[in-house]
Amino acid sequence: MEVLYFAWVRERVGLPRERIETGAATIRDLLAELALRSPGHAAALEDHAALRCAIDQKLTGLDAPLAGVREVAIFPPMTGG
């Protein structure tokens, strides 16, 4: 699966994207797994309320299942303007 990071999430993780193998069942599980990868990952992913996620380019909640997913994007909330 490809994991994409945007805005300050990318800055804290230190990568724009990474390809991973995971046994995570949901986005929430994936965030917990990714947070263990490095201090930067932990800093970026610890506050789930400050994150939004998309699965295969569709916004989704943290309890969305990951079975068959090709891409997960993680980013801060967006504002309009």
Residues 40-79: pLDDT tens digits?
A: 999 999 999 999 999 999 999 999 999 999 999 999 987 6
Whole-angstrom Cα distance, residue 61 to residue 20? 20
Strand-strand pairing, 58-60 and 71-75: unpaired
pTM value is 0.93
* Residue 34 in this model has a pLDDT that exceeds 60: yes
Q: What pLDDT, in 10s, does the model give residues 6-22?
A: 999 999 999 999 999 99
Give me the percent of the chain exceeding a pLDDT of 70.
96
Nearest to 59 by CA among 43, 80, 75, 38: 75
Q: Mind giving me the DSSP string for 48-78?
A: GGG-EEEETTEEE-TT-B-TT--EEEEEPPP
Strands 71-75 and 2-5: parallel
The pLDDT value given to residue 78: 76
